[in-house]
Amino acid sequence: MSSKPYKIWFNGQFVSWDQAQVHVLTHTLHYGLAVFEGIRAYKCDDSRSAVFRLQDHIDRLYASAHIAEIKIPFTKEQALEATLELLQINELVEAYIRPIAYIGGGKIGLHPGDNPIELVIAAYPWGTYLGEGALSKGITAKISSFTRMGVNSFMTKAKITGNYANSVKAKLEATSIGFDEAILLDNEGYVAEGTGENIFIVRRGILKTPPLTSVLEGITRDTVLKIAKDEGIEVEAERFTRDELYIADEAFFTGTAAEITPIREVDGRLIGTGQPGPVTKKLQSRFFNIVEGRDQKFIDWLEFFDTASPLKVKNESL
């Protein structure tokens, strides 16, 4: 990530990267209650780029805010338009987009009282999330000693910042001993998800993914389910254990950051041949055709913007 001359949309205004600051007594900084999204924009043909499933991401941001009782003081339409403007102002043809709604400064106790709700949207270049070669060769993963929080621990359908402390610890544990990523089990010992990804396996020709109990309702997960249906691949939303994962023919992660990343090894055990399998490669190829605008069947998932005519900043102050 670079601070370059990029702008950030900050509570309705475009400000320079270095001006987008918060106070050290910001409520969310102390207690972790905020909601966020991860969104990607891809270069398509000609001079156009497109944001993938932007409306779905904005809808989920506001659904998370509703769950968390965070009242965002901007409409969904304003957030969507601000995202597209930001990409053009920053002249980004491909980007990772991070909206976050958080509780600002004021009261510092656990009850936030009437502290203001802030909405910020940043966009910047970001390549392959899980490292060079991850998409083509696959990655290694470890079953974490940390458990994915259950539905009675906290609200698992919301992308709440504090939820991800669990993921950070799992990620650090896995990478500290040489693995690329961690896989968390649920409270009953079934495979749940990665630290920021949903997980799929292929076994005996059936594509399986954990049901929406304690896992996040991933937008890329939903994308893969719809692609699989269109490809005639049998799919089951079904619990599976770590040992079924070990003997799967294929496995992969899905997520906005991870896209569709094959898993070649878990806990030192090769998954299938240790190479991305045919189902994974088919889904991955179709996914990139869709997000890069080459698949007309799912073209409605793309929000196009013109990269050839960058916008000028309308305002710049806090």
Strand 34-36 vs strand 139-147: parallel, antiparallel, or unpaired? unpaired
Question: Are residues 139 and 118 part of one domain?
Answer: no
User: Of the residues 89, 109, 127, which one is the last residue of a structural domain?
Assistant: 127
Question: Are residues 147 and 68 part of one domain?
Answer: no
Question: Are residues 12 and 98 part of one domain?
Answer: yes
For residue 139, is it within any domain? yes
For residue 53, is it within any domain? yes
Question: Are residues 16 and 117 part of one domain?
Answer: yes
Question: Are residues 204 and 93 part of one domain?
Answer: no
CATH number at residue 114: 3.30.470.10
For residue 186, is it within any domain? yes
Name residue 108's amino acid: I
Domain that holds residue 152: 134-294
- Long-range Cβ contact pairs of 71-75 (< 8 A, separation 24 or more): 71/117, 72/101, 72/117, 72/119, 73/116, 73/117, 73/119, 74/12, 74/119
Question: Are residues 138 and 287 part of one domain?
Answer: yes
Residue 193 phi, psi (nearest 5): -170, 175
For residue 287, is it within any domain? yes
Find all residues with CB under 8 Å of 257, minimum gap 6, and list them.
38, 40, 96, 126, 129, 196, 197
User: Of the residues 94, 127, 160, which one is the last residue of a structural domain?
Assistant: 127
Question: Are residues 82 and 185 part of one domain?
Answer: no
Query: What is the predicted pLDDT for the residue at 318?
Result: 41
Cα–Cα distance, 234 to 213 (Å, whole number): 21
Evaluate whether 252 touches 225 at the Cβ level (below 8 Å).
no
Question: Are residues 142 and 75 part of one domain?
Answer: no
Q: What is the pLDDT along the chain (318 residues), one digit of tens a residue?
A: 555 679 999 999 999 999 999 999 999 999 999 999 999 999 997 778 999 999 999 999 999 999 999 999 999 999 999 999 999 999 999 999 999 999 999 989 999 999 999 999 999 998 888 888 999 999 999 999 999 988 888 888 999 999 999 999 999 999 999 999 999 999 999 999 999 999 999 999 999 999 998 899 999 999 999 999 999 999 999 999 999 999 999 999 999 999 999 999 999 999 999 999 999 999 999 999 999 999 999 999 999 998 766 676 655 544
Cα–Cα distance, 306 to 47 (Å, whole number): 6
Q: Would the pTM count as exceeding 0.85? A: yes
Percentage, residues of the chain above pLDDT 90: 87
Strand 48-52 vs strand 117-124: parallel, antiparallel, or unpaired? unpaired
> Which candidate in 159, 229, 282, 312 is catalytic?
159
Residue 253 phi, psi (nearest 5): -95, 150
User: Of the residues 107, 127, 147, which one is the last residue of a structural domain?
Assistant: 127
Residue-wise pLDDT for 89-106, tens only, equals 999 999 999 999 999 999
Q: Is 159 a catalytic residue?
A: yes
List the beta strands (DSSP E) in 57-197.
95-103, 117-124, 139-147, 181-185, 191-194
CB atoms within 10 A of CB 181: 27
Name residue 156's amino acid: T
Question: Are residues 140 and 98 part of one domain?
Answer: no
Question: Are residues 42 and 59 part of one domain?
Answer: yes
Question: Are residues 102 and 148 part of one domain?
Answer: no
Question: Are residues 197 and 86 part of one domain?
Answer: no
CATH number at residue 225: 3.20.10.10
Query: What is the predicted pLDDT for the residue at 306?
Result: 81
**What's the CA dihedral at 257, 201, 190, 169 to 10 degrees?**
-30
DSSP 273-311: TSS--HHHHHHHHHHHHHHTT--GGGGGGEEEEESSSPP
| Total tally of structural domains belonging to the chain | 2
